[in-house]
A and B are shown apart, each in its own frame.
Chain A
């Protein structure tokens, strides 16, 4: 172990859990992890040597000499919280190649298992037909059947099987999903927590900290941590103000369609007023078409 990893210290931890995230839609997982890292004042202890996994993103030349080449950071942190020891892994970018992703997932798990890791969480985005004024829920996707009952008890959370028309199935793209698959194959239990982001927001490169907060509420409750999430509220308010400004530029007819998402539920057996599933699909098609057209124009 250690090839491809640069260690700065070797923490002594008691059965830690690992929480990991890589960049994705709305940067939801990364915002959640960075908030947790800052709130807990977690310490850096290792990083993945990035040159094998990433293309450099910045070059610096000084007086005709190559000074530095910078790669996306992928770093490990730890924290002894008193209730639960924690490992955090924050990935700099999703690798473009499947084999590289598999290799990274194994490297992260090598480090975690070497430190006695008992469980893995990943944090990411769930693109959902919801309105941006609503509190995002969290989709919990465990990597083994025994965790389903536990995940069902989480607050403000639903499982894939709760979603109308999915039949308990779906896909988690990128390393936030792959890590849990590899963890499963290596006998390590884990749960992916996906914060909802409105479908019409997900198509734009904007952060969505409100969903990060929903994830952290579930995660910290599960880990028995008391973490001040006030900074996320501030970020979420700022983002929401920007969304509102943009929202009022949308043609009235489309906006009315989106407004209906306040009252639509895509969850099985939940009352959804007078709007049927058929209506929901139609709304989403129209909304998607509008934003696709707009995206092309931009």
Chain B
């Protein structure tokens, strides 16, 4: 086990050779938490362990968001029926490497991990009416073929642009690669004007891939309803606001918006959807 940091385990789950799905709290379109919360609701997994926050998060105080005190959480869930592990966590603010090592220690040494998938959103200059594409980055090449069968783009080429930093999911994949653990980052497109909100369509898209890959038998009716509701609300906004109609139509036709147009679209959509929540 990684030295100096600790985790709490409440029970040892009875798993054969499970797959792990990882979702981080801070994610475009609320994707990570939304997807894991959805899986928790649908599969009823049991929480069995958590990483202790000391050494990974600043504990000098607690943040308050929307009137409520927050505290960093890094929880493991197991679903024995599906031979599945879930990990839902805030991204650590320090000791990232040790955090990722400990995550894999618990999954590999206690749960006999077979492979893992991270879920993440990529902000895209697309319309919400367009299909969301899922791309993957794998730690081992044998994972590419099965993912491609579910329509995932498995041929991504990428270099970190100047000024940007790799994501925590990429760091996890690297640590896993060094430990010879098979895993994939799954990236799904999120329209930029839904990035600060929720994108149920992106959530459904990435979960559909995992549903097929891991034979989870998920009922997506709840997400379908959310997608329909969001589409209906945005259509309503388009009717009221000529500019919003124009901007979304431009995106649908593949026409780039100016910075100001993009800002207006994002703020109007956010304002409207939040009011209707």
Given the complex, which residues of A lie within 8 Å of B156, measured CB to CB?
61, 63-64
Partner of A66, one of B157, B159, B170: B170
Q: How far does the Cβ of B151 sit from chain A's closest Cβ, in whole Å?
A: 14
B144 close to chain A: CB less than 8 A:
yes
Q: How far does the Cβ of A102 sit from chain B's closest Cβ, in whole Å?
A: 13
B78 close to chain A: CB less than 8 A:
no
Q: In the complex the two chains form, what is the Cα distance from A96 to B93 in whole Å?
A: 10
Measured as residues with beta carbon below 8 angstroms from the partner, the interface class of chain B is 20 to 34
Tell whether A55 pairs with B165 under 8 Å between CB atoms, given A62-B157, A69-B174. Answer: yes
B50 close to chain A: CB less than 8 A:
no
Residue with the greatest number of chain B CB neighbours at <10 A, chosen from A55, A58, A61, A63: A61
B52 close to chain A: CB less than 8 A:
no
B215 close to chain A: CB less than 8 A:
no
The reply to whether A51 and B97 form a contact with Cβ atoms under 8 Å apart is yes
Query: Tally of A-B residue pairs with Cβ under 8 A?
Result: 66
The reply to whether A65 and B158 form a contact with Cβ atoms under 8 Å apart is no
Given the complex, which residues of A lie within 8 Å of B98, measured CB to CB?
52
Given the complex, which residues of B lie within 8 Å of A60, measured CB to CB?
158-160
Q: In the complex the two chains form, what is the Cα distance from A65 to B174 in whole Å?
A: 11
The stretch among B16-24, B134-142, B226-234 that forms the contact with chain A is B134-142
Q: In the complex the two chains form, what is the Cα distance from A96 to B58 in whole Å?
A: 12
Tell whether A58 pairs with B160 under 8 Å between CB atoms, given A64-B155, A66-B174, A97-B94. Answer: yes
Per-residue A-contact encoding for B166-178, CB less than 8 Å = 1, 0 else: 1000110111010
The reply to whether A65 and B171 form a contact with Cβ atoms under 8 Å apart is no
Interface residues of A in 46-68 (CB under 8 A from B): 51-52, 55-66
Given the complex, which residues of B lie within 8 Å of A66, measured CB to CB?
137-139, 170, 173-174, 177
Q: How far does the Cβ of A240 sit from chain B's closest Cβ, in whole Å?
A: 26
B154 close to chain A: CB less than 8 A:
yes
Give the A interface residue count (CB, 8 A): 18
Q: In the complex the two chains form, what is the Cα distance from A66 to B170 in whole Å?
A: 8
The reply to whether A63 and B155 form a contact with Cβ atoms under 8 Å apart is yes
B238 close to chain A: CB less than 8 A:
no
The reply to whether B166 and A65 form a contact with Cβ atoms under 8 Å apart is no
Interface residues of A in 93-140 (CB under 8 A from B): 96-97, 100
The reply to whether B138 and A58 form a contact with Cβ atoms under 8 Å apart is no
Given the complex, which residues of A lie within 8 Å of B95, measured CB to CB?
97, 100
Q: In the complex the two chains form, what is the Cα distance from A10 to B156 in whole Å?
A: 41
Q: How far does the Cβ of B60 sit from chain A's closest Cβ, in whole Å?
A: 13
The reply to whether B160 and A64 form a contact with Cβ atoms under 8 Å apart is no
Given the complex, which residues of B lie within 8 Å of A58, measured CB to CB?
159-160, 166
The 10 tightest CB contacts between A and B, nearest first, are A59-B166, A61-B158, A69-B174, A64-B154, A58-B160, A59-B160, A51-B97, A56-B166, A64-B156, A97-B94
Q: What are 24 of the A-B contact pairs (CB < 8 Å)?
A: A51-B174, A51-B175, A55-B96, A56-B166, A56-B170, A57-B160, A57-B165, A59-B158, A59-B159, A59-B160, A60-B158, A61-B137, A63-B155, A64-B136, A64-B154, A64-B155, A64-B156, A66-B137, A66-B173, A69-B166, A69-B170, A69-B171, A97-B95, A100-B94
Q: Which residues of B contact A (CB under 8 A)?
A: 94-98, 135-139, 141, 144, 153-160, 165-166, 170-171, 173-175, 177
